[in-house]
Amino acid sequence: MKGIAGLAWMAGMIALLSACGGTDRHSATRDGADWPTTGRTLDAQRFSPLNSINRDTVGRLGLAWSVDLDTNAGQEATPIMRDGTLYIISAYDVVRAVDARTGEVRWTYDPQVRAAAARSCCGPVSRGVAVENGLVYVGALDGRLIALNAQDGTVRWQVQTLDDAWPPAVNYSITGAPRVIKGRVIIGNGGAEFGARGFITAYNAQSGKKEWRFYTVPGKPGTRDNAASDAMLGKVQSTWNGQWWRWGGGGTVWDAIEYDRELDLLYFGVGNGSPTNHGLRSDGKGDNLFLASIVAVRPDTGEYVWHYQETPAESWDYTATQPIILADLEIGGKMRKVLMQAPKNGFFYILDRATGELLSADPIAKTTWASHIDLKTGRPVENPDARYYRTGKTTILYPSSGGAHNWQPMSYSPQTGLVYLPVMEMGIPLSQGGSQTPVPGVYNTGTDMQGGTAWNAEQLKTIRQNTKGFLMAWDPVRRKVAWKRELAANFNGGVLSTGGGLVFQGNAERKFAAYDAKNGELLWQFDAQTGIAAAPITYAIDGIQYVAVMAGWGGAWPMLGGQLAEQPVNGVGPNRLLVFRLDGKGILPPLPNAAPRQLDPPTETASADLIARGNGLYGENCLRCHGMAAVSASMVPDLRHSGAIHSADAFNQIVIGGALKDQGMPGFRTQITASDLEAIRAYLIHRANQDAKNNGSGTR
């Protein structure tokens, strides 16, 4: 009887641990061999104690093996490694299970989401999957949450997470990694640029049944959602004005979601407003909760506990969806349970994660929208010129809407006490403009979005001098930079720190590199043949330590950045899973020699007025994928070279008719008229002729 009772007790404990997620806060596995969640442990520090690869041995690091991903659309995912299997998700949400020793692909699942790819602001990317209790959880671009059998990739269940009401589903997407907490799959969504209303939802991990939902912004006055957020409706709605619900309001939860088991609190970061322009969205009044905030709720019910708003009355696309790290730090002579985040707005925040109290907020990059954060009030001290909708002027602001730090993961090393993160310094001109009424399926920002024109070599040089990227080591206790290393471009990869005293990061220059965690010295690098934006992981099998990274240039900056994103090199290249070990002997095949393409545009005949109109329409409808000034630095076709601009009929069939929708280019029948289309074509012909005459600058 005692043995049976003991077995029953053990079975009960296993079930309890499974329901809680099965991973304690500080240790994924006691020896660090696995990488079971996107942040490795529940505190999401992305630090591994593995140390076979260290300062002394990293020079012997070599490629063990690689897996071709059959795309060049870009990679942002963090792999998961459990029990000898790597679970990866590629562009267009293609999931693979890979033998972590050999690289053999065990199964592949394709959710067929190419037709929904244009829903995403920033490419057909995903930041990862979740793996728990024999299931692999996938958030798909078309809004589905899918549970796969981890053994063979077959679908166990799937559910559509999007609302059927306004805003329409075409405005939404999912690019973030799900989290599994206490037997529930937690997922948010993206789409605030298009006109979405943000929410985060918990689904039963075994059945897919919805258990609760929390809306981050209120709906139409007088309505309730029958959601966990209803309890806060009065407080939240009082911070809004005008007719925000017609635009959706924004506040999508597209990435940062973390959990503290000791406090039993679920934390999530909330995105930007929709439209971006606070004057248009809310008549220029009110803080607009919970935009650009960190919110803490109970994971069982979604019950609100606390929030801290980093950017009140958000009007610059300054999201708070950037990665969150949990740690215990000594601050002011007292141990504090803290939450750390470096959001887009340029400040590094430390909060008491039990109460939401602001402990510190310091700039990590050039910031001109605000001089500092008042620690007594918790509010930014703003530059009055930053609110362009009040001044009526164009204002150049730092950081840009891309942020001082974006989605790329950062890492905290308990060995050094430092946070390692990629940092950008880049400004953006902002002014009021764009459509004054919501248009489904296209950018609805309330700002003047132009397609842009080309820069000559001297202009590019000047702009580049003010556009920088760094790998930074930040001391969160001393509140200062410990060291920083300037990189060749501004948009670089996520970060891993290890017990071997190393920091790993990929970059836009097609390199995967290892640095000394103490001082930033470059110790090793590998030619990846493509830019790297994703964060690496490390794991061990049979006593051998491996380092793995999803290599592939894509995402917001390569798609939007045009000529700037081609500096110092165009990072587009073969997308692969790269896995390294000491004394690895693998070699990547050489890249084919690609001759630069010469521009051969049609003769330019359109009027200046038509070209100017096309410039604005391109900015609102096309720029997000095809690039600033119609220069593509990503895998998306460069429209200056497109044969379709030679024929009005062919251009119509593609853009309005949707002839290429199965390849990720949707039809814009409900957004663009025939006269709009001709204006866009005139602008593209103009841009192609400009660059064809500009000493070959249109070659690629």
Query: Tokens at residue 450, please?
Result: 């132009």
Distance from C-alpha of 483 to C-alpha of 20, rounded to nearest angstrom: 38
> Residue ranges of the alpha helices (H) in 392-444?
none
In this structure, are residues 532 and 552 in contact, taking their beta carbons and an 8 Å threshold?
A: yes
Does 175 carry a binding-site annotation? yes
Query: Tokens at residue 258, please?
Result: 């973390």
Does 121 carry a binding-site annotation? no
Quote the distance between the C-alpha of residue 558 and its chain's center: 13
Active site (annotated) includes residue 317: yes
Distance from C-alpha of 158 to C-alpha of 141, rounded to nearest angstrom: 13
Distance from C-alpha of 288 to C-alpha of 240, rounded to nearest angstrom: 5
Does 625 carry a binding-site annotation? yes
Query: Tokens at residue 647, please?
Result: 């024929």
Q: How far is CA 491 from CA 498, 560, 643, in A?
A: 23, 12, 31
Q: How far is CA 127 from CA 75, 258, 344, 692, in A?
A: 8, 14, 18, 38
Q: What are residue 101's phi and psi, to 5 degrees?
A: -85, -40
Does 626 carry a binding-site annotation? yes
Does 344 carry a binding-site annotation? yes
Query: Tokens at residue 383, please?
Result: 């530059």
Does 76 carry a binding-site annotation? yes
Does 117 carry a binding-site annotation? no
Distance from C-alpha of 160 to C-alpha of 158, rounded to nearest angstrom: 7
Tokens 């008229």 belong to 673
Q: What are residue 155's phi and psi, to 5 degrees?
A: -75, 125
Does 103 carry a binding-site annotation? no
In this structure, are residues 489 and 469 in contact, taking their beta carbons and an 8 Å threshold?
A: yes
Does 122 carry a binding-site annotation? no
Convert 350-406 into a string of H (helix), E (strand) and C (coil).
EEECCCCCEEEEEECCCCCCEEEECCCCCCEEECHHHCHHHHCCCEEECCCCCCCCC
Given 93, 163, 317, 676, the catalytic residue: 317
Does 665 carry a binding-site annotation? yes
Question: Would you please indicate which residues are annotated as catalytic (active-site) residues?
Answer: 317
Annotated binding site for heme c: 622, 625-626, 665
Annotated binding site: 76, 127, 175, 191-193, 252, 272, 317, 344, 406-407, 622, 625-626, 665
Annotated binding site for Ca(2+): 193, 272, 317
Annotated binding site for pyrroloquinoline quinone: 76, 127, 175, 191-192, 252, 344, 406-407
